[in-house]
Structure 1
């Protein structure tokens, strides 16, 4: 009985180890792909129109700032977040999650 249990424990450990290694490689490749796509998007938009790129970056910054402000402030009593505030909060949350993901997994990316 002890040998079977030990063999099962070793097998479970190896399956978990390989699964984590594959997941780490997949997440690193995904982070590199996201980083490359963001760089390509910036390059293409700049080559199309530098003025529109700067205007778009400014508008995106304002939307993200509004989303951060809406996230960290307390809403008035009895009111919930609606409309544009909810949209900018969702955009800010998605941007923050993407930034954390890229910080964790693309920092050792060999594609740079």
Structure 2
């Protein structure tokens, strides 16, 4: 087998490995997104069946925390670092935004719910 044939076979093999790897990663990420979406739906359902008033109050409090985190994240930075509540709410907002982006990208074609 000449050298160029070996290189061509190696190139085809690498391409197939990359393609299969990407397909497997896509399936795993989609399953993770479906599981996360199902878990969030289950938490909302169980919370509502336990106490609708407490669920609405909790959603309102979470909205205030996320709004404070967004405000702290996007406002003009002051001298020094964020401390205390500002750091916690900014982290909570960032984590929530990342989770929403993940669900937007991978759970849109989730037919499990």
TM-score range, shorter chain: over 0.9
What TM-score results when the alignment is normalised by the length of structure 2? 0.96
Match of 2:64 in 1: 62
* Distance in 2 between residues matched to 1:21 and 1:61, nearest whole Å: 36
* Distance in 2 between residues matched to 1:41 and 1:90, nearest whole Å: 22
Match of 1:47 in 2: 49
Match of 1:82 in 2: 83
Aligned length: 111
Match of 1:100 in 2: 101
* Distance in 1 between residues matched to 2:21 and 2:96, nearest whole Å: 28
For structure 2, the 5+ residue unaligned runs are none
Alignment of 1:28-43 (within 5 A): 28-43=30-45
What TM-score results when the alignment is normalised by the length of structure 1? 0.96
Given that 1:75 and 1:81 are in contact with CA atoms closer than 8 Å, whether structure 2 keeps it comes out as: no
CA offset digits 1:3-39 (Å, max 9, x no partner) = 1111110110000000000000000000000000000
For structure 1, the 5+ residue unaligned runs are none
